Structures are given as structure tokens and as C-alpha cells.
A = this chain, B = another copy of it.
């Protein structure tokens, strides 16, 4: 991928950090399966499965650990 999609891990708020964690999780998928059409086709498979949604939330949690540490937990 040649576009710049991750210039920094720093965000203004915890919530923006969480949304960055979601982006990281999706990009982790996209590097393995770059074909957007395939990804669209797979979407119902996990968006309607309790197990798959929990697994997706786990990846977000791991990436949020990274983003939160990068931002020193947004402590004032």
C-alpha cells in the first residue's frame, strides 16, 4: 500500500484513539485480503455472528492498548 494512512498514533481524545484502534484492526485485515469486494462479501459472516464480533472487539482492544500507551493514556 502506497497511500499514507497512519501518519501518527497521537490523537486528541481517548475516543479518537479508540477509533484509530478500529482503523488499525481493519487495516490488519486489509493487508491480508486487499480485495475490497471479497471483504464486502465476508462482512455479513462476522457482523451477524456473536463469536466473530467478540473476536473483532478483541483485536480492537489490543490495538487500543497500543494507541493508549502512545498517548500516555491522555492523562492531563
Contacts and interface: CB of A to CB of B under 8 A. Distances in A.
Contacts of A51: 45-46, 51-52, 55
Contacts of A65: 62, 65-66
| A contact residues, range | 35 or more
Oligomer copy total: 6
Interface string A39-55: 00011011111111111
Task: Choose among A7, A31, A54 the residue with the greatest number of B CB atoms under 10 Å from its CB.
Answer: A54
B54 A50 contact: no
Contacts of A74: 8-9, 70
Interface of A: 4-10, 13-15, 18-19, 22, 24-29, 31-33, 38, 42-43, 45-66, 68-70, 73-75
